[in-house]
Structure 1
């Protein structure tokens, strides 16, 4: 049974965990994830594009002999590719998907810092105006007078959405248009 949490419960749940978060930039906006979710931070490496994959799947990389998909967060959030430069990094995370560990990379413009966020600085995500899909937001936090979006990695890196073939998305769009 899946129990859906409202935004206030998600914010409180986030606050109850570890209070250290890694902040990073995507298209100039600051985001954060719990430091415990990050396995490592690596330089951008050679990636192989996957035919017919969604644009957000930048490719796959060899991570110590294992194939790991790399998700371009800019593409996932705003349909704009990250411009790779010397500051661009891949944040390597490990998620549990259907009982198995899945290692994935997230392409970000740069890493900023590790911040500690007090429990009383967490706020629920707004219903609109956050700039990205609300389901991607676990909560918001105010740090040094600025808001940071804390990402819900289970939504941002949702395997079912990301494994949809490019053709499936195009045909679904065509079907939507023809229905109207």
Structure 2
């Protein structure tokens, strides 16, 4: 597993230009840890990395929406990726961070915060090293996985944040989950 370098990585991202020549350098992904697994997102989507601070709760929001935070005057929704993936919630620690990303959708760009267990590193990848995500059929939704990369310590799942954090899709997903859990509760009664 990669070593978590919270402060160093945040400083590195804040001081260098994120522009890159894809042909010369390959692709760069910010990697982070979530429930013991490594994930990566395109570094050009990353605005900043912030340590966890309490957010303002939003009534009637899906369980994975932790709330909103004020980011230099902009109100930014904060999503817990553990809960978005249907994983067990855990108590936040000193290495829990919020990765602030820009998400593109049909209605334009949005800034969203993603709560993750900790950041790991910046991964340089050649496009030819990215393998397609496996097809599990309709039982497992992998539409937000853009590919997989093998590293020394294992595999890194590369995420498409535009699909993963689409507000419309997330709220539709939560509506389906709520309907399914109500149906199970009614059957049990």
Give the TM-score normalised by structure 2.
0.75
In 2, are the aligned partners of 1:117 and 1:143 still within 8 Å (CA)? Answer: no
In 2, are the aligned partners of 1:53 and 1:165 still within 8 Å (CA)? Answer: no
Counterpart position of 1:5: none
Deviation per residue, 1:46-68 (Å, 9 max, x gap): 20121111111111111111110
How far 1:18 sits from its partner (Å)?
5.0
- Could you say if the C-alpha distance between residues 176 and 76 of structure 1 is closer, same or farther in structure 2, counting changes exceeding 3 Å? same
How far 1:69 sits from its partner (Å)?
0.5
Count residues in correspondence: 163
Counterpart position of 2:135: 127
How far 1:99 sits from its partner (Å)?
3.7
Which of 89, 100, 105 is the equivalent residue of 2:97? 89
Q: How does 1:1-180 map to 2 (within 5 A)?
A: 19-128=27-136, 133-144=141-152, 146-164=154-172, 169-171=177-179, 173-174=181-182
CA distance in 2, matches of 1:168, 1:138: 24
How far 1:29 sits from its partner (Å)?
0.6
In 2, are the aligned partners of 1:18 and 1:34 still within 8 Å (CA)? Answer: no
In 2, are the aligned partners of 1:82 and 1:109 still within 8 Å (CA)? Answer: no
Which stretches in structure 2 are left out of the alignment for 5+ residues?
1-21
Give the TM-score normalised by structure 1.
0.78
1:135 aligns to what SS in structure 2?
A: coil
Moved over 3 A (4+): 15-18, 163-169, 171-179
RMSD between superposed Cα atoms in Å: 2.9
